[in-house]
């Protein structure tokens, strides 16, 4: 039962996202029939699924939505911004309903009906030819003309409809005609109700069948679509006809009423305002989805994570096996171990591949966010997404969501200018934000580029002076100025907006990215725009490391940070004020960190190796006793059962089962600089 | 281990007020920790030193793929350390959702201790060590000093010390 609900929610969430994407894609563009169809299908499957789960409010609402989209689909109308906003709101309502369904059970939301009414009003109103686009009345505007005034009228006393209701032949708990009719009284007044029985011979009677139909007059302020939704609820095959009673031109001869079900009695000659009953659609509508989904299996992420953990254990066990290889082994065992090593590596890669998701999972949330944020700020922003098929480890994707959201918000809030400013500067009024992802050198790069006003380095400098970080006489390099932006407590926004000034600064963004083993860099041209580049590893769990040795202790440094290594004796060393050691690597001075000192061991003689490490474009030289070799390591958390240890990113388990700590190069660099700066201020 | 846990559950049902304690000796004294907090007992293998950690943190070890800290009970109580012996064990226990290992000279027994026989600790120890104790029990000929594992593996204090 639980898993059924879970399946429903998983699917529902996907559908909500899908609807949102389709809506955003449709907006402003040509009404591509296929995308409108997709939208319709989403609403349709949603209705079906929620009805099957017994979520009446959800299915009622999505049914109304489906009806609205059917109109869009039939008429191939472009999606007006007004309509798009309404439909996006509808998506939000679905989200709310979903969430409430999950927590509170089958409950409704007060927004549902008003929103549906609004959508229908726009749909109906929008079809009326406006003077601007079509000055001469089209030959068939009658249906809308009859509808529009009645819906305005209905605000007051309500409109009277003649309703014919033939329940689906098969009754069920969710579909109890009497219950539905009772519910209908909450929406309006029922009068002149007539029940027509159609009882078959007694030997053909079935317990769960309905033999008869109703016809009644309903006075309601609600749109016919809502009334229809209530009556058709979760019942495939119900027949509902709603005709406005006071509409002047309506006669039984011409079937132009607001809504007409495609029943044999009422052929749908006028498709304009017709909503097709769900019954005809059901079996074929979601076929396209079904076809592509049949190729894949839905697996919970927990299962994949468990599998991944197991593979990590096998990698460790494998390296234990490999380490005994050198000792006396017969040839068969030896070759078996070698073979297994190969398979384990492949197994690891395949399981990794399962965890990989296209970055579009992450990027898809941004068009909506950009749209809303830009609207709120009165800016015009076009978000261009590239490389959304690039694949990334699932855990990384999740961890990147917050930093990226923040960066993009910043770009809109602080980067992109208002349309007026842009016009004044001779730029197109609509700003562009480019969000792209690509893979290179075994890493994933994610770039956020805007064509806004860029970073005003002078203002950054002033702010730094104000904060007491530098003095009036200091003229930091551009790189150092950019680095200020990532420092805690820095924000140049002249006014704290409710969007980006919420206390989460770029320092948090950088910390988040670095905790993923990634880095972030910034480039900007005043007046031209800003470019933020995030570089993250392909995966978090397993990485290539370089084994180091100091005394009898074993440490790992991430291979991605290693540039080169030298014999310590071969390098010229200088010590600033006898304390801050530097090594001269081809004329460039790099701060030297003695690993022995860093981990609190007494210094040895001056022999050993110097490894040049780089992170965030900054380098340090690390003096170690020896290099053990390159190895694949499984990253394990120290914090999970212990505490965060400064200078270390985590730990791993070596081939012999012992634990080795993994150096956090970024942290060591920062600590070294902090030490040097403290010293500089004292001097 | 499995059987130990089973009997614990049964006995708590039968006699509400008696709890099982894992009993061990450090120096000449007998100490006990609540068995419910104990996960398993392992032979001690040298831990990996954690730089800049307090001296009573021996380091970290691998517990079936998880990294856990190992605390040396003797150093924690201000006693001189003893070299590893065959009987040296690590008692794996859980406090506040975190698992850690406590290195002990040896473990000797599991004891049923009725709750009402636990007396408050007499003010024999210094205040620094007093916080590790949660009570004293007189049982037959011997005195068992009950330990408070939450204080021995004080994660809040540790996270400040290491950082």
Determine phi and psi for A192, rounding to 5 degrees: 50, 50
Distance set, CA A47 to CA A26, A51, A58, A665, B96 (Å):
22, 6, 7, 53, 46
- C-alpha A231/C-alpha A330 separation (Å) is 78
pLDDT at position B122, please? 77
What homologous superfamily is domain A1-129 in, according to CATH? Answer: HPT domain (1.20.120.160)
Q: What number is the average pLDDT over the span A313-321?
A: 78
Is B53 near chain A, with CB under 8 Å? yes
A:B CB pairs within 8 Å: 80
Confirm if A144 and A272 have CB atoms less than 8 A apart. Answer: yes
Q: Which residue has the higher pLDDT, A294 or A544?
A: A544
Residue A427 DSSP label: S
Of A381, A436, A380, the closest CA to residue A404 belongs to: A436
Residue A514 contacts by C-beta under 8 Å, 6 or more apart in sequence? A520, A616, A666
Of A391, A651, A681, the closest CA to residue A545 belongs to: A651
Of B97, B74, B85, the closest CA to residue B147 belongs to: B74
Q: What number is the average pLDDT over the span B88-104?
A: 93
**Which range has highest mean pLDDT (A278-292, A302-316, B21-35)?**
B21-35
Pairing of strands A542-550, A648-653: unpaired
Show the tokens assigned to A631: 């190895």
Residue A415 DSSP label: I
Q: Specify the range with the lowest mean pLDDT, choosing from A126-135, A361-370, A376-385.
A: A126-135
Cβ density class A22-50: b for 16+ within 10 Å, e for less: bbbebbeeeeeeebbebbbbbbbbbbbbb
- C-alpha B69/C-alpha A637 separation (Å) is 12
Determine phi and psi for A256, rounding to 5 degrees: -110, 15
- C-alpha A172/C-alpha A167 separation (Å) is 11
Confirm if B117 and B137 have CB atoms less than 8 A apart. Answer: yes
Q: What number is the average pLDDT over the span A326-354?
A: 82
Show the tokens assigned to A213: 């139909």
- C-alpha A49/C-alpha A59 separation (Å) is 8
Q: Specify the range with the lowest mean pLDDT, choosing from A5-9, A270-274, A407-411.
A: A270-274
pLDDT tens column, A533-557: 998 877 666 778 899 999 889 999 9
Show the tokens assigned to A558: 């991430």
Is B51 near chain A, with CB under 8 Å? yes
Q: Which residue has the higher pLDDT, A254 or A404?
A: A404
pLDDT at position A441, please? 65
Quote the minimal CA–CA distance from A314 to chain B in Å.
10
**Which range has highest mean pLDDT (A162-171, A490-499, A644-653)?**
A644-653
pLDDT at position A620, please? 93
Name the average pLDDT for chain A.
Answer: 76
Confirm if A462 and A420 have CB atoms less than 8 A apart. Answer: no
pLDDT at position A533, please? 92
Quote the minimal CA–CA distance from A86 to chain B in Å.
47
Distance set, CA B129 to CA A178, A534, A547, A648, B123 (Å):
76, 50, 40, 31, 10
Of B45, B61, B158, the CB nearest to A643: B158
Name the average pLDDT for chain B.
Answer: 84
Instruction: Report, in angstroms and rounded to the nearest whole number, the Rg of chain A calculated over CA atoms.
Output: 33
User: What residues of chain A lie within 8 A of the CB of B59, using their CB?
Assistant: 659
Instruction: Find tokens 């809308």 and name the residue.
Output: A144
pLDDT of residue B58 exceeding 50: yes
User: What residues of chain A lie within 8 A of the CB of B68, using their CB?
Assistant: 641-642
In this structure, CATH architecture of domain B2-157: Beta Barrel (2.40)
Of A600, A638, A644, the CB nearest to B67: A638
Q: Which residue has the higher pLDDT, A285 or A172?
A: A172
pLDDT tens column, A110-134: 778 888 888 888 777 654 333 333 3
Q: What is the DSSP string of A49-92?
A: HHHHHT-HHHHHHHHHHHHHHHHHHHHT----HHHHHHHHHHHH
- C-alpha A163/C-alpha A538 separation (Å) is 61
| DSSP helix/strand/coil, A648 | strand
**Which range has highest mean pLDDT (A49-63, A300-314, A536-550, B137-151)?**
B137-151
pLDDT tens column, A484-536: 888 777 765 544 444 444 445 787 788 888 777 778 888 888 888 899 999 88
Percent of chain A with pLDDT over 90: 11
Is B95 near chain A, with CB under 8 Å? no
pLDDT at position A275, please? 36
pLDDT level of residue A235 (50, 70, 90 thresholds):
low
On the 0-12 / 13-18 / 19+ scale of CB atoms within 10 A, B160 is exposed
- When the candidates are 3.30.565.10, 3.30.70.260, 3.40.50.2000, 3.20.20.70, the CATH number that belongs to A365-537 is 3.30.565.10
Give me the residue spans of the domains in chain A: 1-129, 142-279, 301-357, 365-537, 542-682
pLDDT of residue A269 exceeding 60: no
Determine phi and psi for A66, rounding to 5 degrees: -60, -45
Question: Residue A69's Cα: distance from chain center in Å?
Answer: 24
User: What residues of chain B lie within 8 A of the CB of A554, using their CB?
Assistant: 48
Give me the residue spans of the domains in chain B: 2-157
Residue A111 contacts by C-beta under 8 Å, 6 or more apart in sequence? A89, A93, A96
- C-alpha A667/C-alpha A660 separation (Å) is 18
CA dihedral A67, A70, A75, A78 (to 10 degrees): 90
Residue B87 DSSP label: T
pLDDT of residue A305 exceeding 90: no
pLDDT of residue A147 exceeding 70: no
pLDDT at position A99, please? 83
Adjacent-strand bridge partners of A433: A383, A450
Distance set, CA A673 to CA A522, A562, A580, A590, A591 (Å):
20, 19, 10, 11, 9
Of A309, A316, A645, the CB nearest to B50: A645
User: Which helix (H) or strand (E) element contains residue B9?
Assistant: helix B2-14
Residue A509 CB-half CA count within 13 A: 29
pLDDT of residue A454 exceeding 70: yes
pLDDT of residue A263 exceeding 60: no
- C-alpha A19/C-alpha A6 separation (Å) is 20
| DSSP helix/strand/coil, A228 | helix
Q: Which residue has the higher pLDDT, A609 or B17?
A: A609
Q: Which residue has the higher pLDDT, A230 or A351?
A: A351
Residue B55 CB-half CA count within 13 A: 8
pLDDT of residue B155 exceeding 70: yes
Of A316, A554, A642, the CB nearest to B60: A642
pLDDT level of residue A576 (50, 70, 90 thresholds):
low
Confirm if A68 and A225 have CB atoms less than 8 A apart. Answer: yes
Instruction: Find tokens 């003077």 and name the residue.
Output: A131
Distance set, CA A140 to CA A128, A143, A262, A423 (Å):
10, 7, 19, 43
ipTM of this predicted complex? 0.85
pLDDT tens column, B5-52: 444 444 444 556 889 999 998 888 899 999 999 999 988 888 999 998
CATH number of A142-279: 3.30.70.1150
**Which range has highest mean pLDDT (A198-207, A263-272, A279-288, B139-148)?**
B139-148
Is A602 near chain B, with CB under 8 Å? no
Show the tokens assigned to A347: 């197994």
- C-alpha A378/C-alpha B160 separation (Å) is 47
User: What residues of chain B lie within 8 A of the CB of A313, using their CB?
Assistant: 65
pLDDT at position A623, please? 92
Q: Specify the range with the lowest mean pLDDT, choosing from A136-145, A663-672, B78-87.
A: A136-145
Confirm if A142 and A247 have CB atoms less than 8 A apart. Answer: no
| DSSP helix/strand/coil, A165 | strand
- C-alpha A641/C-alpha B145 separation (Å) is 27
Q: Specify the range with the lowest mean pLDDT, choosing from A479-483, A678-682, B72-76.
A: A678-682
pLDDT at position A27, please? 67
Q: Which residue has the higher pLDDT, A193 or A358?
A: A358
Instruction: Report, in angstroms and rounded to the nearest whole number, the Rg of chain B calculated over CA atoms.
Output: 16
pLDDT at position A588, please? 87
Residue of chain B minimizing CA distance to A650: B67
- C-alpha A239/C-alpha A165 separation (Å) is 6
Show the tokens assigned to A597: 């000192």
Q: Specify the range with the lowest mean pLDDT, choosing from A30-34, A283-287, A507-511, B105-109.
A: A283-287
The crossing angle, in degrees rounded to 10, of helices A224-232 and A56-75 is 130
Q: Which residue has the higher pLDDT, A178 or A402?
A: A402
Query: The whole model's pTM is what?
Result: 0.50
pLDDT of residue A335 exceeding 60: yes
Quote the minimal CA–CA distance from A571 to chain B in Å.
28
> Which of the residues A641, A644, A661 would you substitute to probe the B interface, choosing the one with the greatest number of B C-beta atoms within 10 Å?
A641
Residue A126 contacts by C-beta under 8 Å, 6 or more apart in sequence? A77, A80, A82, A83
User: Which helix (H) or strand (E) element contains residue A107?
Assistant: none
Is B51 in Cβ contact with A598 (below 8 Å)?
yes
Q: Specify the range with the lowest mean pLDDT, choosing from A28-32, A37-41, A567-571, A655-659.
A: A28-32
Instruction: Find tokens 């905790």 and name the residue.
Output: A515
- C-alpha A29/C-alpha A40 separation (Å) is 17
Q: What is the DSSP string of A508-554?
A: HHHHHHHHTT-EEEEEEETTTEEEEEEEEES-SSEEEEEEEEETTEE
In this structure, CATH architecture of domain A542-682: Beta Barrel (2.40)
**Active-site annotation of A, residues:** 44, 66, 410
pLDDT of residue B1 exceeding 90: no
Residue A387 contacts by C-beta under 8 Å, 6 or more apart in sequence? A359, A436, A437, A438
């Amino acid at each position: 039962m639980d898993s059924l609900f879970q399946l429903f929610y998983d699917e529902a969430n996907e559908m909500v996202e899908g609807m949102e994407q389709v809506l955003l894609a449709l907006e402003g563009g040509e009404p591509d029939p296929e995308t409108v169809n997709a939208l319709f299908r989403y609403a349709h499957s949603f209705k079906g699924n929620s009805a099957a789960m017994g979520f009446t409010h959800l299915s009622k609402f999505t049914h109304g939505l489906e009806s609205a989209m059917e109109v869009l689909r039939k008429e191939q109308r472009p999606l007006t911004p007004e309509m798009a906003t309404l439909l996006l709101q509808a998506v939000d309502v679905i989200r709310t309903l979903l969430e409430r369904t999950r927590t509170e059970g089958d409950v409704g939301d007060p927004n549902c009906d008003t929103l549906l009414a609004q959508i229908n009003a726009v749909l109906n109103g929008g079809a009326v030819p406006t003077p601007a686009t079509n000055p001469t009345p089209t030959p068939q505007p009658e249906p809308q003309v009859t509808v529009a005034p009645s819906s305005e009228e209905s605000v007051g006393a309500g409109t009277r409809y003649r309703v014919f209701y033939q329940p689906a032949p098969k009754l069920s708990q969710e579909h109890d005609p009497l219950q539905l009719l009772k519910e209908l009284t909450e929406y309006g007044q029922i009068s002149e109700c007539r029940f027509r029985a159609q009882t078959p011979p007694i030997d053909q009677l079935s317990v769960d069948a309905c033999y008869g139909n109703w016809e009644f007059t309903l006075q309601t302020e609600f749109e016919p679509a809502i009334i229809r939704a209530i009556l058709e609820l979760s019942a495939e095959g119900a027949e509902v006809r709603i005709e406005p009673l006071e509409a002047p031109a309506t006669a039984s001869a011409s079937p132009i009423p607001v809504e007409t079900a495609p029943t044999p009695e009422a052929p749908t000659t006028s498709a304009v305002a017709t909503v097709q009953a769900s019954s005809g659609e059901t079996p074929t509508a979601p076929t396209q989805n079904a076809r592509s989904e049949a190729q894949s299996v839905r697996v919970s992420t927990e299962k994949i994570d468990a599998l991944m953990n197991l593979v990590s254990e096998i990698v460790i066990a494998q390296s234990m096996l490999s380490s005994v290889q050198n000792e006396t082994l017969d040839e068969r065992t030896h070759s078996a171990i070698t073979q297994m090593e190969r398979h384990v590596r492949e197994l690891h890669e395949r399981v990794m591949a399962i965890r990989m998701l296209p970055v579009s999972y992450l990027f898809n949330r941004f068009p909506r966010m950009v749209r809303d944020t830009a609207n709120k700020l009165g800016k015009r922003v076009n978000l261009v997404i590239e490389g959304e098929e690039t694949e990334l480890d699932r855990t990384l994707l999740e961890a990147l969501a917050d930093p990226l959201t923040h960066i993009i918000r910043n770009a809109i809030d602080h980067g992109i200018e208002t349309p007026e400013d842009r016009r004044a500067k001779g730029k197109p009024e609509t700003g562009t934000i480019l969000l792209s992802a690509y893979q290179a050198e075994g890493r994933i790069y994610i770039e956020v580029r805007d064509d806004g006003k860029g970073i005003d380095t002078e203002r950054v400098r002033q702010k730094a002076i104000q904060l007491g970080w530098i003095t009036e006489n200091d003229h930091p390099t551009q790189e150092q100025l950019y680095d200020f932006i990532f420092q805690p407590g820095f924000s140049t926004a002249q006014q704290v907006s409710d969007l980006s000034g919420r206390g989460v600064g770029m320092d948090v963004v950088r910390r988040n990215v670095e905790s993923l083993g990634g880095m972030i860099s910034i480039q900007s041209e005043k007046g031209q725009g800003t470019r933020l580049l995030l570089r993250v590893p392909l995966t978090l769990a397993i990485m290539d490391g370089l084994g180091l040795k100091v005394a009898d202790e074993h440490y790992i440094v991430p291979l991605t940070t290693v540039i080169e290594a030298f014999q310590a004796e071969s390098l010229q060393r200088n010590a600033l004020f006898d304390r801050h050691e530097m090594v001269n690597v081809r004329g460039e001075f790099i701060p030297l960190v003695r690993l022995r000192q860093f981990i609190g061991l007494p210094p040895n003689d001056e022999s050993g190796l110097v490894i040049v490490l780089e992170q965030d474009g900054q380098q340090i030289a690390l003096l170690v006793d020896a290099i053990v070799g390159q190895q694949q390591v499984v990253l394990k958390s120290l914090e999970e059962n212990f505490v965060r240890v400064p200078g270390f990113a985590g730990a791993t388990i070596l081939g012999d089962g012992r634990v080795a700590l993994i150096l956090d190069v970024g942290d060591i660099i920062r600590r070294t600089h902090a030490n040097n700066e403290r010293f500089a201020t004292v001097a | 281990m499995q059987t130990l846990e089973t009997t614990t559950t049964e006995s708590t049902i039968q006699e509400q007020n008696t709890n099982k304690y894992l009993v061990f000796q450090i120096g000449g004294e007998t100490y006990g920790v609540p068995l419910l907090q104990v996960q398993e007992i392992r032979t001690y293998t040298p831990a990996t030193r954690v730089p800049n950690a307090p001296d009573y943190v021996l380091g970290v070890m691998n517990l079936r793929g998880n990294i856990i800290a190992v605390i040396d009970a003797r150093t924690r109580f201000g006693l001189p350390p003893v070299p590893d012996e065959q009987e040296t064990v690590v008692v794996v226990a859980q406090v506040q959702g975190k698992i850690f290992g406590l290195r002990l000279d040896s473990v000797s027994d599991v004891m049923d201790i009725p709750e009402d026989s636990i007396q408050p600790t007499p003010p024999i120890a210094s205040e620094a060590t007093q916080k590790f104790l949660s009570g004293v029990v007189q049982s037959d000929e011997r005195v068992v000093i009950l330990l408070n594992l939450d204080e021995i593996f004080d994660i809040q204090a540790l996270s400040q010390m290491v950082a």
